[in-house]
Structure 1
Amino acid sequence: MGRIFLSAAHGGKETGGIDPGSIAGGTTEAREMILLRDLILTELRARSFEVLSVPDDVSAKQTIEWINSRGRRGDIALEIHADAAGNPSVRGASVFYIASNDERKSNADLLLMGLLRRVPQLPNRGVKPDTASGLGSLAFCRQTKVPSLLMQVGFLSSPDDRSLLQNRRRDFALGIADGLAAWSRSIDSGSGDGGEPTYAAINININGQNYPEQGILINGNAYIPIDLVDRLRIDLSKAPNVRRITYRRVVYVKAIELREFNISVSWDSGTKTVTLRSNLVICPGQIDRIMSHGNSSEVQMQIFLKNNNENALVQFPDIAKLYREEATTEGVNYDIAFCQMCVETGFLRFGDDIKSEQNNFAGLGTIGGGTEAATFENARIGVRAHIQHLKAYASLEPLVKEVVDPRFRFVTRGIAPLVDQLSGRWSADLDYGNKIMAMLKRLYESAGLM
């Protein structure tokens, strides 16, 4: 039986100080996760599992390095988190797995069901690929060498979830231990003879053509020969985090990590084929430039929106068309603007601060420092104001249409031509630009452009 690595999120040193994680209700994410982790450890060890606890004083990067320096075939790793949201009614548990890995998805199901059986009062938010996370990918899922998952046990910002966690901590621990035990038993730890493991061969398809050489499947992840990476003209010399392994004297790389180089990667479990597509219409140097062209169609944007909120188009059936028309008029990348709207409104779900009838799709404020967000007479004017505010940040060019953005004149023109430069400006969130870019990549993957 393999070993189990367990990490409690936060509490370590990040950017020169101790990172408490989310803070709510007089407690911190770090404190709650450490207490929960300790109970899980006790329960698993009572069941005769060998469990290794990641030290609490290490950073997120050091956590992965700590596990990787000790991990071996048959081991698994879990990091537990508590989520947070601005709306205290948002609650529930979820598990993130590395995208396009059916095996890891089934492992995530085992883990989540284990918790929910013990704490049925906890809403089920489902298992999700890490591409659906706020950052678009999760280092713990992608860079940890042994099979790994990241679990959100609930929302610390929710009084209901926080009360459950603090008053039924042992039930949480028992449920997670149940899931970890089931997951560990499902992992094939091999013959244990100390020799080189044997991996299953898989097929490779690139741009619609079958590649003559095969790849291999490791822990449910597709790996392709380094020769193919060279043929795709990808330079990995400055990408130390892309996983490489040597198997039978051939170097292989983890296929899913090539998405960072604008390679589309998908998996067909029926034929055991990994498909790669490199003939992208997106220019890598332009993808994050606000003043540029969009690439998706109105239909692709509509499908993406509906797949993430089935009611999104009921009130705003023409939202994709409006973004495409208004952004094109001002020379703004409509894909970026559309994805910013998805981030700001939660795919048109809105929230307590801004109501849908305000037609404010980007959290735009008013003049005079009032607490209310701006209101626009209809959806088109709301979209136009959003586009104009983006153009104010990204360009020195004058507006084509008459100004409707109430704060257009207060922006230092041209100070943020790239999406990442909106961080700390449009929003106080220093990760704001990354969230928009992660949403953009999700749109392009949904549309088959990436």
Structure 2
Amino acid sequence: MGRIFISAAHGGREGGRIDPGTVAGGTTEAREMILLRDLIMGELRSRNWEILSVPDDLSAQGTINWINTRSRPRDVALEIQNDAASNPSVRGATVYYIANNSDRRKNAETLLLALLRKIPQLPNRGVKPDTNSGFGSLVFCRQIAIASLQIQVGFLTSPDDRSLLQNRRRDFAVGIADGLVSWIRVIDPGTTPTEPNYPIINININGTNSSDKGILINGNAYIPINLVNSLNIDLSKAPNIRQVTYKQIVYIKAVDLQEFNISVGWDGATRTVKLRSNVASGQIDKIIFNGRTTKEQLESFLRDNNRNALAQFPDIAQLYLEEARKEGVNHDISFSQMCLETDYLRFSGDIKAEQNNFASLGTIGGGSESAIFDSARIGVRAHIQHLKAYASLEALQQEVVDPRFRFVTRGVAPLVADLSGRWSADLDYGSKILAILKRLYESI
């Protein structure tokens, strides 16, 4: 019978200190998740399921190592978390799964719906591939050897979600337990093969079909390690990429290649994993550079992430193409930053759509007041000008409309990562933009 591993996020030692996770409302994420985890364990054990709890003092990497050294093929692993947002009205539950894995997506839907059946007052934020997370990938979804998911059971920063969790914690536990049982019965329906017999899949690299074949393991595509050389990847710089030996051939998980700027897609009709080299390293993150997407590709990406995105701003993609081209700014980067700042034009933060402020630009007086622009074009132009101020010493080609242009130290941020701690106090700000940028390239 398959077993269940469960991890309460945070509480372990990271960077030499105990990581409490989000702190809000007089409590911490670590405390709330440990309490919930203990109730889930009790519920599952009362149903005679074998459940293993990850020690609370382990780091994130220690958690992964602890599970991987104990797990068996028919086991599953779940990490429970709270989310956080600057806007206390943002709330709801989400389950993340490893991208391009339709089986895991179905497992995530099963888990989330089971929770919402017990807590219907909790908004449903849907299931999402880990590429939709702020960091572009989640190590818990990618580096765990067995089937794994990560659930965010609400926003600790939301008084409503926090109250639900603290007052109905047992209902949360029962809902998650129901989902885990349904999930593991899919993974282990009661029969265990004596030896694996993985399905064969096709491989396409940069538009050319390969004579080599890959395999599917737990719904994830794996490719022969010898193909890595054709993608100019040095695996010695990536010790965490998992290698699997099957019928005397070494395979690696295709999705792990994304950290090398490789797009990974899947064609279900032909059972083909599609790999494509992105812009050369050192260029993908240059702010002053040429973008590579078309208006139609930008619009399609935006609709995929928010089907109503173009209703109010139907020309947004064309505006970014035109305004970025005039100033020599990479429109792919500026568009990705807009997606981050506006939540794909949902404007779920403090800035409203009618402000035409797509990059959280402040007013000339500074402080917390956000700028307002007369039109979407002027708002996009101000965004592009502000990016150019950070990335270049060159003069603007158009009249200045960015209210903060003259306050920027010119040329201090030529790369996206340099925006962290400058454009935003968030030290992961650049990584979040790059994560969206890589997803954009994978969509074309």
Q: 1:357 aligns with which of 354, 357, 362?
A: 354
Structure 2 counterpart SS, 1:287: coil
Q: How does 1:413-432 map to 2 (within 5 A)?
A: 413-432=410-429
Post-superposition shift, 1:196? Answer: 4.5
In structure 1, how many angstroms separate the alpha carbons of the residues matched to 2:283 and 2:351? Answer: 32
In structure 2, how many angstroms separate the alpha carbons of the residues matched to 1:321 and 1:92? Answer: 33
In structure 2, how many angstroms separate the alpha carbons of the residues matched to 1:352 and 1:155? Answer: 14
User: What residue in structure 1 maps to residue 109 of structure 2?
Assistant: 109
1:51-105 deviations in Å (ceiling 9; x for gaps): 1111111111111111112112111100001111122222211111001111111
User: What residue in structure 1 maps to residue 199 of structure 2?
Assistant: 200
Post-superposition shift, 1:262? Answer: 2.9
1:8-32 deviations in Å (ceiling 9; x for gaps): 0111112222111112221111111
In structure 1, how many angstroms separate the alpha carbons of the residues matched to 2:45 and 2:389? Answer: 58
Q: Is the 8 A contact 2:82 2:153 kept in 1?
A: yes
In structure 1, how many angstroms separate the alpha carbons of the residues matched to 2:304 and 2:105? Answer: 19
Q: Is the 8 A contact 2:12 2:57 kept in 1?
A: yes
User: What residue in structure 2 maps to residue 235 of structure 1?
Assistant: 234
In structure 1, how many angstroms separate the alpha carbons of the residues matched to 2:116 and 2:381? Answer: 44
In structure 1, how many angstroms separate the alpha carbons of the residues matched to 2:349 and 2:280? Answer: 38
Q: How does 1:177-256 map to 2 (within 5 A)?
A: 177-188=177-188, 196-256=195-255
User: What residue in structure 1 maps to residue 370 of structure 2?
Assistant: 373
Post-superposition shift, 1:352? Answer: 5.3
Structure 1 counterpart SS, 2:202: strand
Describe the shift of the 1:272–1:308 C-alpha distance in structure 2 as closer, same or farther (beyond 3 A). closer
1:115-156 deviations in Å (ceiling 9; x for gaps): 111112212111111111111111110011111000011111
Q: How many residues align?
A: 444
1:269-306 deviations in Å (ceiling 9; x for gaps): 4443323334x5x2332000111111111111122222
User: What residue in structure 1 maps to residue 155 of structure 2?
Assistant: 155
Please identify runs of 4+ aligned residues in structure 1 that moved more than 6 A: none
Matched AA of 2:235: L
Structure 2 counterpart SS, 1:237: helix
Post-superposition shift, 1:216? Answer: 1.6
In structure 2, how many angstroms separate the alpha carbons of the residues matched to 1:353 and 1:111? Answer: 31
Q: Is the 8 A contact 1:73 1:189 kept in 2?
A: no
In structure 1, how many angstroms separate the alpha carbons of the residues matched to 2:188 and 2:428? Answer: 38
User: What residue in structure 2 maps to residue 266 of structure 1?
Assistant: 265
Deviates more, 1:178-187 or 1:195-204: 195-204
CA RMSD of aligned residues (A): 1.8
Matched AA of 2:135: L
Q: Is the 8 A contact 1:290 1:336 kept in 2?
A: yes
Task: Name the % identity.
Answer: 70
Describe the shift of the 1:209–1:399 C-alpha distance in structure 2 as closer, same or farther (beyond 3 A). closer
Structure 1 counterpart SS, 2:322: helix
TM-score normalised by length of structure 1: 0.94
Post-superposition shift, 1:182? Answer: 1.2
Do residues 22 (structure 1) and 9 (structure 2) align?
no
User: What residue in structure 2 maps to residue 62 of structure 1?
Assistant: 62
Do residues 40 (structure 1) and 40 (structure 2) align?
yes
Structure 2 counterpart SS, 1:77: strand
In structure 1, how many angstroms separate the alpha carbons of the residues matched to 2:231 and 2:332? Answer: 26
Describe the shift of the 1:269–1:334 C-alpha distance in structure 2 as closer, same or farther (beyond 3 A). closer
Do residues 392 (structure 1) and 389 (structure 2) align?
yes
Describe the shift of the 1:210–1:351 C-alpha distance in structure 2 as closer, same or farther (beyond 3 A). closer
Do residues 72 (structure 1) and 69 (structure 2) align?
no
Matched AA of 2:366: G
In structure 2, how many angstroms separate the alpha carbons of the residues matched to 1:410 and 1:189? Answer: 62
User: What residue in structure 2 maps to residue 167 of structure 1?
Assistant: 167
User: What residue in structure 2 maps to residue 318 of structure 1?
Assistant: 315
Matched AA of 2:357: N
Q: Which runs of 5+ in 2 are unaligned?
A: none
Structure 1 counterpart SS, 2:282: helix
Describe the shift of the 1:311–1:215 C-alpha distance in structure 2 as closer, same or farther (beyond 3 A). closer
In structure 2, how many angstroms separate the alpha carbons of the residues matched to 1:392 and 1:208? Answer: 38
1:160-186 deviations in Å (ceiling 9; x for gaps): 211111111101101111111111111
Q: How does 1:122-141 map to 2 (within 5 A)?
A: 122-141=122-141
Q: Is the 8 A contact 1:4 1:51 kept in 2?
A: yes
In structure 2, how many angstroms separate the alpha carbons of the residues matched to 1:253 and 1:352? Answer: 40
Q: Is the 8 A contact 1:44 1:177 kept in 2?
A: yes
User: What residue in structure 2 maps to residue 344 of structure 1?
Assistant: 341
In structure 2, how many angstroms separate the alpha carbons of the residues matched to 1:207 and 1:362? Answer: 34
